[in-house]
Amino acid sequence: MGLLPLEAFWSPCLWIEDVKEACKAIAFYICAISIVLITFICFDMDGGDSTQLYNPLFEADVKQSMKFVGGFAIAFLILLIGTCGLLVLGIRSMTRGLMIPFLIGLGILILFQFIFGLWLLGGYYIYLQVVLYTLCIWLWMSYNIYCWLAVYSQYLIFEKLQSPNIELLIP
């Protein structure tokens, strides 16, 4: 028995009865967050303050590792924006294959959030504020998991609609 697909999408700001329409809202949300993160990373790479615990480039060396890690993060976020476009095209044309890159990209982002939270807790466990930052990161991660589940539910709905219904008629 597999995962039961979601029938509606609820978040603190959105209540959408149709998962198909929710996938479009999720694509917009991921694009908007990606643009904000790209701006934040560019600010850090240009010499901005990267000493905050919630910063994805926290503990990155300004002269060496920040350029590489920041460039990689920007490239990943641009690819994630591209997968949002593929997701919307896949929803409109009912093509499941166009939804898979988005599911993989968001899955990688969720995995990064989980590992980053573990790294914060493991490396800075003596500071109580790290627990709060980690809980905030994991709360955001849980929302992203919910978004992933909504898109995957639409994938399963398309899979069910597109599965062949073959009836064997034996005389």
Strand partners, 10: 15
pLDDT given at position 1: 47
Residue with tokens 């934040």: 40
pLDDT given at position 2: 62
Residue 168 vs residues 37, 79, 160, 165, 171: alpha-carbon distances, Å: 54, 45, 19, 10, 10
Residue among 137, 124, 147, 121 nearest 24 (CA): 147
| Mean pLDDT, all residues of the chain | 87
Residue 45 has pLDDT above 90, yes or no: no
- Three-point CA angle 130, 145, 70, nearest 5°: 60
Residue 164 has pLDDT above 60, yes or no: yes
- pTM to 2 decimal places: 0.87
pLDDT given at position 4: 67
Strand partners, 9: 16
pLDDT given at position 171: 67
What is the maximum alpha-carbon separation in the chain? 78
Q: Taking residues 78-100, report their average pLDDT.
A: 95
Question: Residues 135, 141, 146, 149: is their CA dihedral positive or negative?
Answer: negative
Q: Taking residues 132-137, report their average pLDDT.
A: 91
Residue 51 has pLDDT above 50, yes or no: yes
Contact (Cβ atoms closer than 8 angstroms) between residue 152 and residue 102: no
Phi, psi of 77 (to 5 degrees): -70, -35
22/86 Cα distance (integer angstroms): 15
Helix (H, G, I), strand (E, B) or coil at 60: coil
pLDDT given at position 135: 93
